[in-house]
Structure 1
Amino acid sequence: MRVALVLVLITILATTSILAQQKATDTKKLTWTNGIGMEFRLIQPGSMRVGRVELECPDPPDTRDVDEKERWTQEDFENCQRLANRHSRPGFMVIVEEPYYIGKHEVTQGQWEKVMGSNPSFFQGDKIEGESGQHPVENVTWSQAQAFIKKLNSLDSTAEYRLPTEFEWEYAARAGNRELLSWGETRESAWIQDTNKGGTRPVGQMKPNAWGLYDMLGNVWEWVADYYNNKTFPDTVPPESGEVHVLRGGSFISDVANATYFYHAGGPGNGYDVGFRIVREVK
């Protein structure tokens, strides 16, 4: 009886050791590519402050080289400060406790076709710039994105795929950045109004963020797992139910002010500028 118990304990310890070793190996692999060419980047745990807004006014006196009538008075400065204080907010801390892999790119039309056997996109990739299948898939609902993930999971038994949570998406998009990108940085990394030619662009053409992820801003809006709270910023705890789900990141028709990882929107959006990227669980 004791021998059997010892053998069971050895088996349990061995299994635990194998699982721990597998997770350690998984988290040492910075990139992952699955059988249909979807590339993923490893995101390590960390924290960020969500929903922080700090609005500031310049200190008087107004020394700008403008007509005296256009210079701010003391009353102007006081009004500005009052409005800044009213609309500033401290935000809240979010801790991402577990590592995960997230798509290096938005899901492309070619990848969608390999899994689903069709292409719902308005801007068909093979008709734009000769880049067959490399444009992000768009014109997909949240439910259609989930159907893609369900089928991908059935085709790939070695992994578990899903949509990112809203906080996972923002954490990956910010890549350690605490501030808004400057307009110049946004134009370098985002396919938006200021840079677009009237449609989507093949993925990976703009500058990646610090963690090697492309098109987190611009190109197409991206579905995430959470329900929309009908506010500019997410809540500390996402709602458990709702009418629509959250979209993140802006699209090729967004302006610089709206192509940001700080704010969120509710679907379904315009359709033709809505896509998604996916997470692969660390096993």
Structure 2
Amino acid sequence: MATGMATGVGTNATGLLMTAVPAGRAVLSDRRTRRSWTVDVDPCLLGTHPVTQELYAAVTGDRPSAAEGPALPVESVSWQDAVAFCNALSAREGLAPAYRVADAADAVERDPAADGYRLPTEAEWEHACRAGTAQARYGPLDEIAWHRANAGGAPRPVGGRRPNAWGLHDMLGNVWEWCWDLYDPEVYGSYRVLRGGGWFDEHWSCRASVRRRSHPTLRIDDVGFRVARDAAA
């Protein structure tokens, strides 16, 4: 449930579009425990599109994706790669990195006082995806998402489908997106949350509430990410 409307789009020094997402509330659910919980979400800035291959290469010098194209979403990137990208983009723009990364693979801490780029939380992601709606999707699937039945077996350039009411593109379909949160540490340890569905997925996976999980080192060709920042940053 939203308490306002998205307030517009801004561009950073690298040409990354960021959309202002209003404060609101997200109701998350867990299939294993069959419980639901409500999270109040502060206003934030969220990438209007998933991070593209062009932007990823400009910031890191790497081109990890299986499919090639500057406007395609970067994929074959792990959660750890996404965290490193956020810190590198922050450093490039003179911002305080959001993450402190230790030597251990999963030893990453977020600095809540930092003004740099970060991954969205799961609640931020779902709140932004729904954009004030209560349905499973923010529009007819073929109009808003690339999925198995229409993507032609590969990711597609970002922004090619209709955005949601707040101007965010590809929140469903195209590539799954890493979120900051642990999925279920009691059972899955360090596995992190993935949201949104991807180009290889059937229609039932491309819904606002669907959660997936994987190890933070996983790299696969239908997983990417988008960045966030605190609204006051």
Give the structure-1-normalised TM-score. Answer: 0.67
Distance 1:196 1:115, change over 3 A: same
> Structure 1 residues 139 and 90 mapped into 2: Cα distance closer, same or farther (>3 Å)?
closer
Q: Which has more radius of gyration?
A: 1
Shift of 1:244: 1.3
Q: How far apart, CA to CA, are the structure 2 residues paired with 1:114 and 1:48?
A: 34
1:93 maps to which residue? 38
Query: Which residue of 2 is the match for residue 211 of structure 1?
Result: 166
**Relative contact order (C-alpha < 8 Å, sep 6+): which is higher?**
2
C-alpha distance after superposition, 1:48-88 (max 9, x if no partner): 333399xxxxxxxxxxxxxxxxxxxxxxxxxxxxxxxxxxx
Cα separation, 2, equivalents of 1:221 and 1:50: 17
Structure 2 distance, partners of 1:35, 1:162, is 16
Paired residues for 1:10-159 under 5 Å: 30-51=8-29, 91-96=36-41, 98-125=42-69, 133-158=70-95
Unaligned runs of 5+ in 2: 1-5, 96-114
Unaligned runs of 5+ in 1: 1-27, 54-88, 126-132, 231-238
Tell me the residue number matched to 1:242: 189
Question: Which structure shows the bigger proportion of residues in strand conformation?
Answer: 2
Corresponding position of 2:102: none
* CA distance in structure 2 between the partners assigned to 1:197 and 1:211 by the alignment: 27
After superposing on structure 2, the runs of 4+ consecutive aligned residues of structure 1 that deviate more than 6 Å are none
Superposed displacement of residue 46, structure 1: 1.1
* 3-state secondary structure, aligned to 1:51: strand
Amino acid at match of 2:64: P
The CA deviation string for residues 175-234 of structure 1, in whole angstroms up to 9 with x for no partner, is 11112138x71121010012111101000000111110000011011000011118xxxx
Cα 1:35/1:197, change in 2 over 3 Å: same
Counterpart CA distance in 1 for 2:119 and 2:172 is 17
How many residues are aligned here? 205
Which structure has greater helix proportion?
Answer: 1
Corresponding letter in the other structure for 2:24:
G
Instruction: Choose the corresponding residue for 1:194, options 143, 146, 149.
Output: 149
Go from structure 1 to structure 2 and tell me whether the alpha carbon gap of 1:200 and 1:149 turns closer, same or farther (over 3 Å shift): same
Does residue 220 (structure 1) correspond to residue 175 (structure 2)? The answer is yes
Q: Aligned-pair distance for 1:157?
A: 1.7
TM superposition score normalised by structure 2: 0.81
Is the 8 Å Cα contact of residues 130 and 137 (structure 2) preserved in structure 1? no
1:164 corresponds to = 120
Matched to 2:45, the amino acid is Y
Task: Give the distance between the partners of 1:192 and 1:138, measured in 2 at CA.
Answer: 15
Sequence identity, in percent?
38
Give the residue type in structure 2 aligned to 1:223. W
- Structure 1 partner of 2:207: 260
SS at match of 1:194: coil
Structure 1 Cα separation of the partners of residues 225 and 79 of structure 2: 9
User: What residue number does 2:103 align with?
Assistant: none
Counterparts of 2:8 and 2:163, CA distance in 1: 16
Please state how far the C-alpha of 1:270 moved relative to its aligned partner.
Answer: 6.6
